[in-house]
Structure 1
């Protein structure tokens, strides 16, 4: 998990905020002497039995914490314990608290006019500056016990705990900050990240929504709601949230890109499920036939790869020292190897399907298939629409250009599978017409890959562009006329 550092809070951690310029050396020396005497007197049974002694000790250490931390960097803790002794000892015969006990109780509960709480926060800040995060956290936690409604110590405590990677402590501290009315958006964001790291997505969303109640226009909180919805598999909700963001800020390119990608992913998932259902609907020989067709489709890729190998090899002969061409050749050979492995697997599946058949709820699957096809069509259209909206705002946006290229490339591949599944009679009747549309899809993808390469020199775009060019050359060689729809 990425650790978050709260700039607004850390700015308050400057030692300058607790400058000691007004404290002269004589005062510090006096604190040291008084401390030595008080520490020595603790061992005296007579002194240690008096509430007045512990009150003097509490105030001494409180002053040291506030004005002379160089004498004792944890003086606030000693002051706290001394005040507790006052409360313990200053009681009358009826067990009721005396005047000193009440004063000590006020200090321990952060009543108005008391300084113990500030002493803990100050020494906690000093420990933080000295990179003693564990000590800082201890001080801030103690401060919270004094003033349970304050947000300062819980904010600082959460920061220290987070940097210590004490996630549970950090959550506790930030939750206290939120409960006491804290408003810093970065705290709500950080709290959501802590819950997200535990896959507690509901709590993460809850934290972000609380933050949005305090800062309704905060874009980071709104965007993170979308991210967490995606991480939790709630894509439909994420689309709704992102659609609202895009409508409210139509020039925000990233929102449009993300929305387009969401629709793109929805389309891809629907396509995958469509294939699964179509596979289930094909029983016995039908299923085997379908798998065989898929196998042939996979085998057709070898032809593309072989063409690429031939093309790149010819270029390498012309420029044998070109390392990029050698890398491309290796990539193509690896893809061919993967395809051959897939072919081997698919051959086994086809044989297994031919040997057995299973009962299927065809009616239910056919309805699901029809619904999925409608969903896939709607999602793909909205993906393209939003990618094009991105390009209206930023014509050189790499993500939109590349993904549109991939979109039309995949459409071409899917359409090509129709040709691959045709028997000879079907091919003679309409094979050339479908091939022309396939060529048109590849041709439609080409300018997007070209512009993507111009926008950003990325290997993936260059490789896809090279593949498209190779395929188009093959169509030209076969004298297939491209038909763009």
Structure 2
């Protein structure tokens, strides 16, 4: 899966507030080291560690280390958090209510006004990210989110770190928090949608993109990705609606027009394939009935033969009434005639059923479906052509439009040639030459588009197809077929 890159992420690590310890005076660092050593030692002192005041001092010390001298302790913010929690635990009045220090600590743990613990976590998370310690960075950004649940900064960068670690669930959780808290960066919504798309959760992906569009209504990437996801989820008609809207709002955007043309082109090709399948299925039913009728007539022809044999053998028996062999022959012929009559009766029923099936309501329904498919194919074909030409009106050297238009006419030629290939000699003599002229015309119409496509971009696919077109046109020329362009 493509990694999400945020340009804005770079700014996080360029803030002066997030500079490394080389900008901090040595005296300050040394002072923090000494205070840290003393505090760490006093943690093991039962008297000191029993006082809320000790933990408050320790919390503020580590908070300052995190904010001003991370080189002393790269995870100082975590120690500060634990110390503040200890203050809340110890500073309780006789009535069981929070004391003054407890309230101050609670404020720090919930990002109250004027507190710095949240910023300390974000800073140390950024530093770990810079040092490529992504797991450490993610931990810091996650804890920062726990402190300030309404923030967008920590959720943004926590999501980035999680995604780079391929921790998809954590990435989604962070990006969702970013969105819920009013984050506006379109790339976050795009990246979150990609995470859902990778799970085939297309509805959630589109919902995410639409949420992003509320924050950035004119963002082209979010709009285009909605189309891509609709296509990936098989909702081609909806994708076309979205692209039509994009093309209308931004009529000079050739990529939208190319994509729209390609969608209509694909739609007409799919419809054409369905037309072939349905026509074949309907034709099979009619051919089956015709073949069965032919077999029936052949079987009926046997009766005449048997009747002739019965007449001949009966005449011989009259002359030789005691001839046992003749009597046996007559019995065999009558038995075969009886079997044939039974077979004819069965075949007549089958022929009748086959004819009824060919003319049934199901077949009538297929005729309606076939008509609808042909209308859909014609409409999609017209719209594909219109949009390809719109692209070329804006950019006459657009490779995609040129190549696809060439393919469009090439495929029309192939389909038309299929009609000629399926003709018998009588049909070919009647109209084969005329259709071959139209086939030649389609190939001739495709040729300049491939030539211009090659001029726009030297691609092998265009050159190979142009070679095929030239070869076909040479064959038509050798057969003296006149190309008829429609």
Q: Shorter-chain TM-score: what band?
A: 0.7 to 0.9
Counterpart-to-counterpart distance in 2, 1:141 and 1:288: 74
Q: CA deviation at 1:284?
A: 5.2
The change in CA–CA distance for 1:379 and 1:472 in structure 2 (over 3 A counts) is same
TM-score (structure 2 length as normaliser): 0.83
Q: CA deviation at 1:250?
A: 1.5
**Which residue of the partner structure matches residue 112 of structure 1?**
113
- 8 Å Cα contact 2:184-2:212 kept in structure 1: yes
Counterpart-to-counterpart distance in 2, 1:455 and 1:380: 24
Deviations 1:420-444 (A, max 9, x none): 1212111111111111111111111
1:280 is aligned to 2:281: yes
Counterpart-to-counterpart distance in 1, 2:74 and 2:445: 71
**Which residue of the partner structure matches residue 266 of structure 1?**
267
**Which residue of the partner structure matches residue 445 of structure 2?**
444
Counterpart-to-counterpart distance in 1, 2:367 and 2:111: 69
Counterpart-to-counterpart distance in 1, 2:288 and 2:461: 35
**Which residue of the partner structure matches residue 135 of structure 1?**
136
Deviations 1:230-270 (A, max 9, x none): 11111111111111111121111111111100100111111
**Which residue of the partner structure matches residue 404 of structure 1?**
405
**Which residue of the partner structure matches residue 13 of structure 2?**
13
Deviations 1:300-322 (A, max 9, x none): xxxxxxxxxxxxxxxxxxxxxxx
1:25 is aligned to 2:16: no
Gaps of 5+ in 1: 290-356
Q: CA deviation at 1:283?
A: 3.0
RMSD: 1.9
SS at structure 2 position matched to 1:283: helix
**Which residue of the partner structure matches residue 82 of structure 1?**
83
- Which 10-residue stretch deviates more, 218-227 or 73-82? 218-227
SS at structure 2 position matched to 1:97: coil
Counterpart-to-counterpart distance in 1, 2:267 and 2:386: 14
TM-score (structure 1 length as normaliser): 0.83
**Which residue of the partner structure matches residue 299 of structure 1?**
none
Deviations 1:261-313 (A, max 9, x none): 01001111111222222232233573799xxxxxxxxxxxxxxxxxxxxxxxx
SS at structure 1 position matched to 2:277: helix
How many residue pairs are counted as aligned between the two chains?
A: 419
1:230-379 paired onto structure 2 within 5 Å: 230-283=231-284, 286=287, 361-379=362-380
**Which residue of the partner structure matches residue 324 of structure 1?**
none
1:119-198 paired onto structure 2 within 5 Å: 119-198=120-199
- 8 Å Cα contact 2:18-2:126 kept in structure 1: no
Counterpart-to-counterpart distance in 1, 2:85 and 2:273: 68
- 8 Å Cα contact 1:15-1:126 kept in structure 2: no
Q: CA deviation at 1:164?
A: 1.1
- Which 10-residue stretch deviates more, 67-76 or 447-456? 447-456
Kindly name which structure, 1 or 2, has the bigger radius of gyration based on alpha carbons: 2
**Which residue of the partner structure matches residue 463 of structure 2?**
462
Deviations 1:412-465 (A, max 9, x none): 111111111212111111111111111111111111111112212111111111
**Which residue of the partner structure matches residue 295 of structure 2?**
none
SS at structure 2 position matched to 1:122: helix
The change in CA–CA distance for 1:437 and 1:57 in structure 2 (over 3 A counts) is same
1:3 is aligned to 2:3: yes
Counterpart-to-counterpart distance in 2, 1:217 and 1:167: 28
The change in CA–CA distance for 1:287 and 1:383 in structure 2 (over 3 A counts) is farther
Gaps of 5+ in 2: 291-353
Counterpart-to-counterpart distance in 2, 1:235 and 1:48: 67
Deviations 1:332-359 (A, max 9, x none): xxxxxxxxxxxxxxxxxxxxxxxxx997
The change in CA–CA distance for 1:68 and 1:410 in structure 2 (over 3 A counts) is same
Counterpart-to-counterpart distance in 2, 1:116 and 1:4: 28
- Which 10-residue stretch deviates more, 456-465 or 436-445? 456-465
The change in CA–CA distance for 1:288 and 1:52 in structure 2 (over 3 A counts) is farther
Counterpart-to-counterpart distance in 2, 1:72 and 1:384: 66
**Which residue of the partner structure matches residue 391 of structure 1?**
392
- 8 Å Cα contact 1:195-1:203 kept in structure 2: yes
Counterpart-to-counterpart distance in 2, 1:218 and 1:436: 49
SS at structure 2 position matched to 1:171: helix
Counterpart-to-counterpart distance in 1, 2:245 and 2:288: 44
SS at structure 1 position matched to 2:132: coil
- Which 10-residue stretch deviates more, 259-268 or 452-461? 452-461
Counterpart-to-counterpart distance in 1, 2:32 and 2:288: 90
